[in-house]
Amino acid sequence: MLDRPSVQPGDELSASGKGCQPSQLVTLTSDGSEVGSAYTDATGAFTAPVQFTRIEAGRHTVVAECGVRLTGTVDQVVTRSSGGQTGTLVVLVFFVLAGITAIRFR
């Protein structure tokens, strides 16, 4: 089970589960890449931080392997920066300056 349904880059995410053997290594993977690991406690339960190595928007399945296979899903959300508006501002300033120059030399 994952502690939140969605994350943004830099957000912390934690996976927990139970039903494994005591003192066993649990490996967490997503899309074939390791994203975390932990050892189970005396009851076979674990809690581990999940760290994605790539930032890819969309739904990702996290799989915990410990003899049994536990899964959970999380949405990785990437917000768009406002840097795309800089080009529009440059074009607008260019036309304003061109207009001022045209009026001035008439």
Task: Kindly report, residue by residue over 4-38, the tens digit of the pLDDT.
Answer: 999 988 889 999 999 999 999 999 999 899 999 99
Instruction: Give the phi and the psi of residue 49 in degrees, each rounded to 5.
Output: -70, 145
pTM of the model: 0.70
Domains (range + CATH), the chain: 6-76 (2.60.40.10)
Q: What are the pLDDT digits (tens) for 40-75?
A: 999 999 999 999 888 889 999 999 999 899 999 999
